[in-house]
Amino acid sequence: MYHKVELEESIPLNHIGRIFAMIGAIPYFQQEETRIDRIAILPGGLTNSNYKVTVSEVTYALRLAGEGTLEYLNRPAEKHNAQIMSDIKVNAPIIHYDETTGNQVCKYIDNSITLHPEQFNEDHYIRLAAKVFRKYHTCGKKFKSEFNPLHETRNYRELLRLKNYRFYEGAELMSQKLDEIDAVLKKYPVQLAPCHNDPLCENWLDDQKDFYLIDWEYGGMNDPMFDLGALSIEASLNDEQERYLLREYFGGDLAKKQWGGLIINKFLCDALWSYWAVLQIATGKPHEDYWPYGLNRYNRAYRLIHEGTLDQALQAWSR
């Protein structure tokens, strides 16, 4: 019998073929007669291609991993880490994960909204995010991998060197500050915890019952303040909102060292993703998509240097 599949016109034909092949090969979908009803593009994501796929009237979120990501992402670790987060109901339920490619299928969170930066202007969502951060940072579980932004940045820099690809002007001062942070954190180390490390606003889903944080491909043991710093950047939180986030997270008055940890990690976050952006170009991604993105992060990190905020934060952390 003929079955018509609803497709968005902008979906590449090769992606449609890959989606059909992927669904057809997953044992979960072979337990009974299944059929793909609809395929729609899910917004967000610079690295991967994400789709809302309806199979026998049940919706799923399907990810086709970006080309070249196996070069710098630990997919077996992501499988382990993401499953832990699904088990404690922070991540969406995982249906299938292929650690050889990074392709995955999760249950789609029905009747949910995907958050955007403007929604984090509400104290309500800042408070919910703080609670979710606290929940998985203190869950007592251990991720299979470690995400050290200093080490990751060095790795990206080395990959760029091997590819003989240029970086933004003035990288020497940034490298100097990264070395200073490394020395301070070795002298005053942090206690590592399971971290997401890329909590974009669009990675948060609200179905009015639960608040989810999805897409754990950069997950690893890290300083919890990296997650808070990354969200502050992505949501463009002001100073007052940052302090509210910290108070909700720690459940009390704010200490200078806590503020210092946030600022240090905001710098590490922007430095890291500026190098990541240029590496995407070096691996074949469009220059016009990634160069301005990385430059914006690079300039924002530099402002913390030039305004003296980073040095103040390092002093606060060292006390």
| pTM reported for the whole predicted model | 0.91
Q: Are 41 and 50 in contact (CB under 8 A)?
A: yes
pLDDT at 33: 75
Q: Give the domains, in start order, of the chain with CATH numbers.
A: 6-107 (3.30.200.20), 113-318 (3.90.1200.10)
Exposure string of 218-252, with b = 16+ CB inside 10 Å and e = fewer, is bbbbbbbbbbbbbbbbbbebeeebbebbbebbeee
pLDDT reported for residue 189: 94
Helix pair 287-306, 256-282: axis angle to 10 deg: 150
- Edge-first strand order for the sheet with 204-206 is 113-114, 204-206, 211-213
Q: In terms of DSSP bridges, do strands 49-55 and 36-41 run parallel, antiparallel, or are they unpaired?
A: antiparallel
Phi, psi for residue 158 in degrees, rounded to 5: -65, -40
Separation in Å, CA 128 to CA 112, 118, 135, 198, 247: 15, 15, 11, 17, 13
Per-residue pLDDT of the chain (319 residues; tens, 9 = 90+): 457 889 988 999 999 999 999 999 999 998 767 899 999 999 877 789 999 999 999 999 999 998 878 777 889 999 999 999 999 999 999 999 999 999 999 999 999 999 999 999 999 999 999 999 999 999 999 999 999 999 999 999 899 889 988 899 888 899 999 999 999 999 999 999 999 999 999 999 999 999 999 999 999 999 999 999 999 999 999 999 999 999 999 998 889 999 999 999 999 999 999 999 999 999 888 999 999 999 999 999 999 999 999 999 999 999 8
Predicted local confidence at residue 32, as pLDDT: 67
